[in-house]
Structure 1
Amino acid sequence: MSAEATTPGRPALGLPPKRNAAPSTDAPLARMLPGHRPEAPKKEEPRDSETANMTVSIPAALRNRARAAYKATSYAEGDNTWSHFVTKAIEAETARREAEHNQGEMYPSWGEKLPGGRRLKDS
């Protein structure tokens, strides 16, 4: 036997000494013990504004083309979801129209309902 094996306070077999008390709350797995889970405040994701559902009718061929473009490029373009892709597309067209027709200024927000159906052509 070596001198190290007989040194008091050192385990002879390389096993740690047996613990008698429960792990402290600072221990990494202590949160799994009943009654030891700290209540962390839930983080809310910051949002620029509320979201709203929108239903529109577009030609099926355009929808399928847009979905194919989203699926093929979403990773490269950083689109998180289909909604994110559609939002970016609407935002780009809105910015283009503001630049062309309103000297780049944003139009005032319009929360009212838009008229439904087809627009009547002027004769």
Structure 2
Amino acid sequence: MSAEQNTSRPALGLPPRPSGAPAADAPLARMLSGRRKEAPAKKEEPKDAKTENMTVSIPTALRSRAKAAYKATSYAEGDNTWAHFVAKAIEAETRRREAEHNQGEMYPAWGEKLPGGRRLKDS
């Protein structure tokens, strides 16, 4: 066979690779460098910040939804662990309540234990 390609014959195999980056609306285009919107600088918590364990009961459906959201978005959102995701969610709700009910000021730290169980309804 000759080294020259016969342009009248169709090429067999894979089609030629497209040139250039995918369009901005391509599903994975946001993952390419220069195309991803960079998140604003996040306030990092000190590495030696004291942590405490916490046990709460939440509806199974909510827990499943939250785990699915964490698994699907943890890379894009910068969540290091499930605990980090949960802490960020609590932080966001705490800030919202401080803004709405306390002129954006932090409430004083509450060192005492919270009462357990359900609240009794007023009669």
Sort the TM-score into its range (normalised by shorter chain).
Answer: 0.5 to 0.7
CA–CA distance in structure 1, aligned partners of residues 88 and 103 of structure 2? 21
CA–CA distance in structure 1, aligned partners of residues 108 and 48 of structure 2? 17
For residues 74-122 of structure 1, what are the alpha-carbon distances to aligned partners after superposition, in whole Å with 9 as ceiling and x for unaligned? Answer: 0000000000000000000000000000000000001110000000111
> Does the residue aligned with 1:73 lie in a helix, a strand or coil?
helix
- Structure 2 unmatched ranges of 5 or more: 1-44
How many equivalent residue pairs? 79
CA–CA distance in structure 2, aligned partners of residues 117 and 57 of structure 1? 11
CA–CA distance in structure 1, aligned partners of residues 49 and 78 of structure 2? 20
CA–CA distance in structure 1, aligned partners of residues 63 and 80 of structure 2? 18
In the other structure, the counterpart of 2:5 is: none
- TM-score normalised by structure 1 residue count: 0.61
CA–CA distance in structure 1, aligned partners of residues 46 and 100 of structure 2? 31
For residues 48-77 of structure 1, what are the alpha-carbon distances to aligned partners after superposition, in whole Å with 9 as ceiling and x for unaligned? Answer: 630000000000110000000000000000
| Superposition misfits of 4+ residues, deviation over 6 angstroms | none
What amino acid is aligned across from residue 110 of structure 1 in structure 2?
W
What amino acid is aligned across from residue 51 of structure 2 in structure 1?
T
In the other structure, the counterpart of 2:54 is: 54
CA–CA distance in structure 2, aligned partners of residues 73 and 102 of structure 1? 31
> Does the residue aligned with 2:73 lie in a helix, a strand or coil?
helix
> Does the residue aligned with 2:61 lie in a helix, a strand or coil?
helix
In the other structure, the counterpart of 1:122 is: 122
Q: What's the offset of the Cα at 1:46?
A: 3.9
Q: What's the offset of the Cα at 1:47?
A: 3.1
In the other structure, the counterpart of 2:75 is: 75
Larger radius of gyration: 1
CA–CA distance in structure 1, aligned partners of residues 46 and 54 of structure 2? 21
Q: Matches of residues 1-123 of structure 1 in structure 2 within 5 Å?
A: 46-47=46-47, 49-123=49-123
What amino acid is aligned across from residue 59 of structure 2 in structure 1?
P
> Does the residue aligned with 1:89 lie in a helix, a strand or coil?
helix
